[in-house]
Structure 1
Amino acid sequence: MGMFKKSSLTGLGYDFVNREYLREGEDEYSRRFECQFNSHEYRNLTPVEIDVLQHNGNYSPNWNDVRVTDRFIPEQIQNSKFYGLVRIGNMSPSFIEFRDLQLPIGIYNSQIISSDIGDDVAIHHVRYLSHFILGNDVMLSSVNEMETSPTAKFGNGIVKEGESERQRIVLELCNENGGRSVVPFEGMQAADAYLCTRFRGDDVLQQRFLEITENHFSRRRGFYSTIGNRTVIKNSNIIKDVKIGSHAYIKGVNKLKNLTINSIEGAYTQIGEGCELVNGIIGYGCRVFYGVKAVRFILSSFSQLKYGARLINSFLGDNSTISCCEVLNSLLFPAHEQHHNNSFLCASLVKGQSNMAAGATVGSNHNSRGADGEIIAGRGFWPGLCVSLKHNSRFASYTLIVKGDFLHELDVRMPFSLVSHDVANDQVVIIPGYWFLYNMYALMRNTSKFLNRDKRQLKNQYLEYDILAPDTVNEIFSARKELEYAVGKSLGLESNETDQFYEEKGREHLANPAVRLQHEVLLENAEASKRKVLVAKAKESYWIYKRMIAYYAGKLLVDYLSENSIEKLEDLLLHLSDSNREEFVNLGSQLILKKDLDLLLQEIKAGQYNSWEEIHDYYHKLSANYPLEKFKHAMASYAELENLSTDKWDRDFINSLIHRTWETKKWINEEIFKSRSKDYENEFRTMVYDSEDERDKVVGKLSDNAFINQQADELTLLEYQIGQIKL
């Protein structure tokens, strides 16, 4: 009870900031007056107005500190108490309506302490409103407690004057031991969080990240909580130290504390029943409702938390959804999906477009002596039903994991793979390129699905959703080389040869379609155990990888020639003749050249960037250049695939790639239709329907499938583009 104290009633509402933290010429209202929505001229109440207010059951120990404008209606202030400096904006004889809630403008049955009330605000049954600045047309109804502390930080990881470093709020991302902790700030993007969690051995860089963050905020005390125009808060319990944007809708919450809640009319944020949110930042257009608990978190724009989700010490990227389940200590890039009550994600870096199935347990099993393991997964990560994984593990892009308990650490380096636990033979089985070989419908739908879910209004940062992009294509090249080595090792040759020797022998074997693989193909260093990791369909995977690299290059080539002349292409190809396939980094779902990232980090360390806004401008600059860099990467990839420098490409060679692209697109469409049609032909899928008519009523006709028809339109467009190209 050491914090309990008693003071004179006349002091209630004053001395918000201790005098020791005020500079010369400042008072406790200095920060308050810097953060105003309106610029009204306020006046004292007249004796008549005070008489009306008292007659209506209102009370203040000092009516001189209740200030109003010339458009004040005292009759619309009833049964309320005022302490400290309270300023009330313009009022009109009206009521405000939002959905089914209708409230008269004014203040009724409430207690207001040292706050600024905007124009035409309706405050009803707010038991305690202390040190808030309200915008215009705000509706507050049946709220128990709304207060602000003098050290309010609104979810940002800053330290106020007089506070110690241990009071700083940090997000312990990617690792439970806090070794990758980041300092959160309003406007933080997944790319920022990624940079701050990496390069932990570079103390100079990490110190610069902290300095840049702190440069954005004042360490002064005395900032008030704010609520933007036309925000509605009703039937809620505790709201403390919050910065809430305009047009937000908050109802039935248990607790909101130390938060920034971004919201605007075109992207309003809604927080609903039973939620408890503490120490966080919420982006524009978010939905949080039905019993969500989130502590030390960032929820990026147009994302959702719902149905009892737990988000703790985590960053969730744009356009993501988490419901029912628990997520701890994780950094999740945009377009993450996790819906099931019994899934669990912990201490992980997941690089976007991921989907967690029911029962998946990712990151809870430690193989070290402490809770310090990590899991890293590329784009399109999909741990299937009841998958259990061990720390530390790493997965290439678009890895699909079959149900099972994986008892050892995994390093799956081949993208688009199916990974399964063969319990009967005590081995792991990997099918590289599985998605291309067996489930083209789900894979190709992935790109359009996430593009449609991208609700950002300002898309100045290019988020890559295409399955074939510089990151995944580079992984394919690495996977082909690994397949060559594995096949070469399987041939029973001398065991003391070089890696290059085995790669050459494997390449020769894989290049001959008439020769079948006679021996098991095993991967080395793919699991931390002595048992086998078997590669299935090695030859098929090797060839489908090659076909998809060619398709990646050909599709971008057709797009380029649809807008540019063949002569311009030839000039570019000549310029690219000395270029190699570049390395790219997935920076929060934005792909950038590694050399551009290295330059950025060097310039940050050199002090050339002093704000995150400047760093974001650099992201946007790279985004503008990305389509060309992606095209150059595609041309370099095909040159490497065919072992022919771009300056040697004649028009016949270019034409053959275009024709090859059309053939592959046609084949893709056939595979899409084939993989989806299985759902209409499998007797176990159809046995629950009395007839084909009933099946079509329930799941829709195959001929009406919107995605299949969209792909047919894309083939038609590709054919048109090819027809317009003049070689």
Structure 2
Amino acid sequence: MSVLKKIPLEHLGYDFIPNEFLHEGQDEYTLRFQQNPRNDYRDLTAIEVQELIANGNWSSDWSKVKVSAIFDPKQVQGCKFYGLVRIGNLSPSYLEYRNLQLPIGLYHSTIISSDFGDDVAVHHIGYLSYFIVGNEVLLSQIKEMETGSTAKFGNGILRDGEESDKRIQLELCNENGARSVYPFDGMQAADVYLWTRNRHDRMLQHRFEELTDQKFGTQRGYYSQIGDRCVIKNTFTIKNVKIGTDAYIKGVSKLKNVTVNSSRESYTQIGEGCELVNGIIGYGCRIFYGVKAVRFILASYSQLKYGARLINSYLGDNSTISCCEVLNSLIFPAHEQHHNNSFLCAALVMGQSNMAAGATVGSNHNSRAADGEIIAGRGFWPGLCVSLKHNSRFASYCLIVKGDFLHELDIQLPFTLVSNDVQHDRLLLIPGYWFMYNMYALVRNANKYEARDSRHFKNQYFEYDMLAPDTVNEMFGGMETLAFAVSESLQHEGNKTREEHILAGRTLLANNIDLKDKTIVLSGAENSRRPTVIQKVGEAYHLYRSFIKYYGVLHLMDALEEGRSIDEIIASLAGEKRTNWENIGGQLIESTALQVFLNDIKSKKIDSWDDIHEFYHERSKEYLLDKRKHALLSLIEILTLEGVEISGDKIVSLLDEALEHRIWIGEQIYKSRAKDYKNPFKNMVYANDEERDIVVGKLTENSFINQQQKELEIFKIRVANLKGQF
């Protein structure tokens, strides 16, 4: 049962912090005055007190009500004050926001031990306790606004005297809680990724916990805060919150133990029917219409809409979840998820991802315990009504065809279409599918994500390009996998090692062996006895190789245009090999540098989360040069596989190949979009071509295709200029 206490009225508004938790030399106002150091408040005059009483106001002790220089008792009506209440200047004006016009002052509210900045409009607040309210804030029709002395504002910390079970943790990537992290304001997807991944490294795990605790301290007694120019109206419960400037909050059911980051340039909005508990909300976020979020972090410029449910999850920057349910997941930037029956559970999704309607990357209670996980690389796209089984793992840009996948999958071929062939009881893979059939979407998405990256402070370089160290490394691995599968499927004599199979397969594929009537089977892609069949093997192998070479030549062109000679470039790469990279929260970092960084955390050379974030920032500044080096080493490696050495004589042919490839990309972009205009089933809903063009736009006026053509013309000029140097 509830424990209802009865305490003398004169104590209301005092003893916010129990005496046993006051630090030496402090009282209950010490932290409050640190949060609001303003000191121009004055006592009320006797006449002002009389006017306030005449206006229907009441205080248990009028000496505890302080005001500033500009004060008119007429602007305070029908209020009750308990404890120390401090009120800033009240000018004879009103505040207006979207047609809501309310006079400045305090009206018909119960206020307990709180501070107000200048020119606030506070109307009909049923209960407001232990808040610091900024300047020009509009508060209207709010049932409860309260703060407890142990308020943590969504951070995973403990206050003095609290037991460990009071600590908020995010149970990410796995439902069993064994990958939990302590959330904190400013936490980035990279922080969460590194913390959730390295569970075997107990020292590193301890350091992450230690850095979080030292970031905040343990003192009780921090007040809730509402920043300047905020508007909060028609809301039921607000408790233990820290809200930045310029936020707009309306019709909220509950906002409890939450930090809401907001600024004039990047303001956050929270709308009707939302219940947000134990969370951190980033700058520039939008949360509307019945959203339920519990134990969560919503990174900057992301959206939750239309009944979305986000529980025990981290949603990266520039992402949107609408209607759907997401549980126990770590999602990197640029994620899209719509439609009411999309469900994502116990997953690590590495960004630029899209969940289609009915997709169920969902409940993993199909095993003996709720401890399954799914890991998906960049560009993950489970299509309509896809159901996947935990554990599964997917390379970058995997597209899953509609169907129920009853077995665990390990798809390490990037840009692959994954299909469940129920009729023949087999798994079908088409590597390089995006290159062959939907180049329009593939290239457009990279541009789209870049354009949607609304961050004002880009302290991390998020990689959106389809050609980057992670995907290129996967294509190198994909070439080996395809070569192995071809040799193993076609050459049954002898007991070849994997290396011997790869070498034999490469020879067959390099000679363009006809595989049209051959069945190429891949082992280890599905946890079942049925076969996994790869289609379009030859095409995929050569596409991987062509895109790797194109990637290298693009960066070679950049280096040459900066005035570096080919001999200088080759000399700078002497003795070096292509390196492994890791996607940490949308930022790509070379694996060796990442390990040095983690060791520095353990040795306390890096000793704060600010230091960690500075590392991300510094690596981001170096990223483009590091990526170029990776691209050039990739080019050398792919040419070596072809038996060719890079040289001045080879440059002209490489430039010609790159131009041919760029022209082919342009043609594929056009063709993949033009199919929609030629398909009679697409056109049957329109009266004629004119109506179709009005509804979807003319193909000839497609801005993306036209922009690609302009970029192609510029590329031709670049190639011609560089060829002139040789």
TM-score interval, normalised by the smaller of the two chains: over 0.9
What displacement does 1:56 show?
0.2
1:276 is aligned to 275
What displacement does 1:498 show?
1.3
Structure 2 CA distance for aligned equivalents of residues 517 and 628 of structure 1: 42
Is residue 636–residue 646 contact of structure 1 (8 Å, CA) maintained in 2? no
What displacement does 1:577 show?
2.0
Render the CA deviation track for 1:605-648: whole Å, top value 9, x for unaligned: 10111111101111111111111111111111111111089995
1:451 is aligned to 450
1:216 is aligned to 215
1:404 is aligned to 403
2:246 is aligned to 247
Structure 2 CA distance for aligned equivalents of residues 287 and 418 of structure 1: 33
Query: Which runs of 5 or more structure 1 residues have no equivalent in the other structure?
Result: none
Is residue 386–residue 403 contact of structure 2 (8 Å, CA) maintained in 1? yes
What displacement does 1:71 show?
1.3
What displacement does 1:3 show?
2.5
1:498 is aligned to 497
Structure 1 CA distance for aligned equivalents of residues 643 and 350 of structure 2: 32
Moved more, 499-508 or 81-90: 499-508
2:664 is aligned to 667
The residue type paired with residue 638 of structure 1 is L
Residues 215-364 of structure 1 mapped to structure 2, 5 A cutoff: 215-364=214-363
2:5 corresponds to 1:8 = no
Structure 2 CA distance for aligned equivalents of residues 121 and 189 of structure 1: 34
* Counterpart pick for 2:629 among 612, 628, 632: 632
Q: Secondary structure at the match of 1:707?
A: helix
2:192 is aligned to 193
What displacement does 1:527 show?
0.4
Structure 2 CA distance for aligned equivalents of residues 118 and 368 of structure 1: 56
2:530 corresponds to 1:528 = no
Structure 2 CA distance for aligned equivalents of residues 514 and 140 of structure 1: 74
Render the CA deviation track for 1:392-434: whole Å, top value 9, x for unaligned: 0000000000000000000000000000000000000000000
Moved more, 129-138 or 656-665: 656-665
Residues 542-691 of structure 1 mapped to structure 2, 5 A cutoff: 542-562=541-561, 564-567=562-565, 569-643=566-640, 649-691=646-688
Is residue 82–residue 111 contact of structure 2 (8 Å, CA) maintained in 1? yes
1:695 is aligned to 692
Residues 50-449 of structure 1 mapped to structure 2, 5 A cutoff: 50-449=49-448
What displacement does 1:495 show?
5.1
Moved more, 235-244 or 631-640: 631-640
Is residue 342–residue 359 contact of structure 1 (8 Å, CA) maintained in 2? yes
What displacement does 1:133 show?
0.1
Moved more, 491-500 or 192-201: 491-500
What displacement does 1:176 show?
0.2
Structure 1 CA distance for aligned equivalents of residues 514 and 127 of structure 2: 81
What is the Cα-based RMSD across aligned positions, in Å?
1.4
Is residue 233–residue 251 contact of structure 1 (8 Å, CA) maintained in 2? yes
2:28 is aligned to 28
Q: Secondary structure at the match of 2:162?
A: coil
Structure 1 CA distance for aligned equivalents of residues 47 and 274 of structure 2: 44
The residue type paired with residue 717 of structure 2 is Y
Render the CA deviation track for 1:270-328: whole Å, top value 9, x for unaligned: 00000000000000000001000000000000000000000000000000000101000
Structure 2 CA distance for aligned equivalents of residues 696 and 596 of structure 1: 52
Is residue 446–residue 464 contact of structure 2 (8 Å, CA) maintained in 1? yes
Q: For residues 644 and 310 of structure 1, do their structure 2 counterparts lie closer, same or farther at Cα, with a shift above 3 Å needed?
A: closer
Structure 2 CA distance for aligned equivalents of residues 581 and 275 of structure 1: 49
Is residue 574–residue 646 contact of structure 1 (8 Å, CA) maintained in 2? no
The residue type paired with residue 584 of structure 1 is W
The residue type paired with residue 695 of structure 2 is V
Structure 2 CA distance for aligned equivalents of residues 350 and 260 of structure 1: 25
Is residue 179–residue 196 contact of structure 2 (8 Å, CA) maintained in 1? yes
Is residue 189–residue 332 contact of structure 2 (8 Å, CA) maintained in 1? yes
Structure 2 CA distance for aligned equivalents of residues 638 and 478 of structure 1: 15
The residue type paired with residue 225 of structure 1 is S
* Counterpart pick for 2:713 among 713, 716, 725: 716
Structure 2 CA distance for aligned equivalents of residues 23 and 687 of structure 1: 76
Structure 2 CA distance for aligned equivalents of residues 647 and 87 of structure 1: 78
Structure 1 CA distance for aligned equivalents of residues 117 and 179 of structure 2: 42
What displacement does 1:518 show?
4.5
Q: Secondary structure at the match of 2:344?
A: strand
Structure 1 CA distance for aligned equivalents of residues 211 and 643 of structure 2: 43
What displacement does 1:500 show?
1.7
The residue type paired with residue 624 of structure 1 is K
Moved more, 509-518 or 662-671: 509-518
TM normalised by structure 2 equals 0.98
Structure 1 CA distance for aligned equivalents of residues 661 and 365 of structure 2: 44
The residue type paired with residue 661 of structure 2 is T
The residue type paired with residue 611 of structure 1 is S
Is residue 445–residue 707 contact of structure 1 (8 Å, CA) maintained in 2? yes
Residues 458-477 of structure 1 mapped to structure 2, 5 A cutoff: 458-477=457-476
Q: Secondary structure at the match of 1:143?
A: strand
Identity of aligned residues (%): 59
Structure 1 CA distance for aligned equivalents of residues 365 and 69 of structure 2: 67
Render the CA deviation track for 1:442-491: whole Å, top value 9, x for unaligned: 11111101001100112231100000100000000001001111000111
1:19 is aligned to 19
Structure 1 CA distance for aligned equivalents of residues 15 and 338 of structure 2: 48
The residue type paired with residue 359 of structure 1 is G
Q: For residues 30 and 646 of structure 1, do their structure 2 counterparts lie closer, same or farther at Cα, with a shift above 3 Å needed?
A: farther
Moved more, 311-320 or 683-692: 683-692
What displacement does 1:590 show?
0.3
What displacement does 1:365 show?
3.4
Q: Secondary structure at the match of 2:700?
A: helix
Is residue 639–residue 646 contact of structure 2 (8 Å, CA) maintained in 1? no
The residue type paired with residue 296 of structure 1 is R
Moved more, 296-305 or 687-696: 687-696
Q: Secondary structure at the match of 1:212?
A: helix
Structure 2 CA distance for aligned equivalents of residues 548 and 342 of structure 1: 36
Structure 1 CA distance for aligned equivalents of residues 486 and 540 of structure 2: 12
Is residue 142–residue 234 contact of structure 2 (8 Å, CA) maintained in 1? yes
Render the CA deviation track for 1:185-223: whole Å, top value 9, x for unaligned: 000000000011011011111000000111110200000
Q: Secondary structure at the match of 2:571?
A: helix
Q: Secondary structure at the match of 1:87?
A: strand
Structure 2 CA distance for aligned equivalents of residues 95 and 24 of structure 1: 44
The residue type paired with residue 156 of structure 2 is G
The residue type paired with residue 129 of structure 1 is L
Q: Secondary structure at the match of 1:671?
A: helix
Q: Secondary structure at the match of 2:216?
A: coil
Structure 2 CA distance for aligned equivalents of residues 722 and 486 of structure 1: 37
What displacement does 1:514 show?
5.3
Query: Which runs of 5 or more structure 2 residues have no equivalent in the other structure?
Result: none
Moved more, 639-648 or 119-128: 639-648
Moved more, 498-507 or 292-301: 498-507
Q: For residues 575 and 646 of structure 1, do their structure 2 counterparts lie closer, same or farther at Cα, with a shift above 3 Å needed?
A: farther
Is residue 58–residue 81 contact of structure 2 (8 Å, CA) maintained in 1? yes
Render the CA deviation track for 1:66-104: whole Å, top value 9, x for unaligned: 011121111100000000000001111000111111110
Q: For residues 516 and 24 of structure 1, do their structure 2 counterparts lie closer, same or farther at Cα, with a shift above 3 Å needed?
A: closer
